[in-house]
Amino acid sequence: DFEDNSGLQESTDETLVGGRVTLEALLNNENLAYATLARGYKAGGVNSEPVLDDELRIYDAEINHSIELGLKSSLLADSLKTRIAAFYIDRTDQQIKNSFSYMEDGAPKFKDYIGNTKNGKNYGFELESGWDITERLNWELSYGYLISEIGEYTYESEFYGVFVQDGRQQAHAPQYSAATALTYGITDALSVRLESEAKDEFYFSDSHDLKSEAYVLWHARVAYTQPTYEVALFGRNLTDREYEVRGFGFGNDPRDGYSSYGHYQYGEPLTYGVEGKLYF
């Protein structure tokens, strides 16, 4: 139940059903195949922001139907473990986070709210592996490829006019993402680890067309480990790469008539330090 001091009264009452059915088949001692059917949901609700039009206050429940097909394997005398999976997700009444722009005292203001599209789709595949190449050298790899589509949706703003979505890539859904790491045990206690992660460009929001840039980051860690403690020297984003994690498009300067341009939040810069752990 929702009621505010403007006299608006709303309520939502839903019965939501979800579940999952998985069929697994052991093909042989090294390979397990599986298939999964699932139904999931996000409950609907009420946006509390009073500057929203009444028709934007209520958002509906989102219902997801998904199928996943996969193969889990243990190869090379159990030294190589892999998982590969393909998936498809149909999103009915897809919930999206949007921002609402309006003028107050001659300046632009913004409020976030949740809305619905008619539908959306997510499909692609994922790969994960861990390989003990030697007794001291381990290689980890993960890769994901994602195609996403946002359903039909019309967004209207005082600054952007009418913005229509229909089939565009969803926000924060890069087409590819990957991570890999090599860990080498110099001795039984001393190890060094080199990591890399990569991400394709992606849209920051479903309400504008600002995008991040694709990027690759590098990390490293040297650790000394004993049964009761661990000491490590670490460095993250070793190349001090600038990369965007969030972006907003709006006007903020009255001298140019509040014309819209991009504002960005950046990810973690070069960071290094010493870390200690004590095990009880």
Checking if the pLDDT of 43 tops 60, the result is yes
- Please give the share of the chain, as a percent, with pLDDT higher than 90: 64
Specify the higher pLDDT residue, 13 or 218. 218
pLDDT in tens, 210-236: 899 999 999 999 999 999 999 999 999
> What rounded mean pLDDT belongs to the chain?
89
Distance from C-alpha of 121 to C-alpha of 86, rounded to nearest angstrom: 14
- Give the domain extent around 209: 2-278
Distance from C-alpha of 91 to C-alpha of 151, rounded to nearest angstrom: 9
> How much is the pLDDT for 3?
85
Distance from C-alpha of 252 to C-alpha of 196, rounded to nearest angstrom: 37
Q: CATH number, domain at 78?
A: 2.40.170.20
Domain count, the chain: 1
Q: What is the DSSP string of 248-260?
A: EEE---GGGTT--
What is the CA angle 18-113-146, rounded to 5? 55
In whole angstroms, what separates CA 218 from the centre of its chain?
Answer: 20
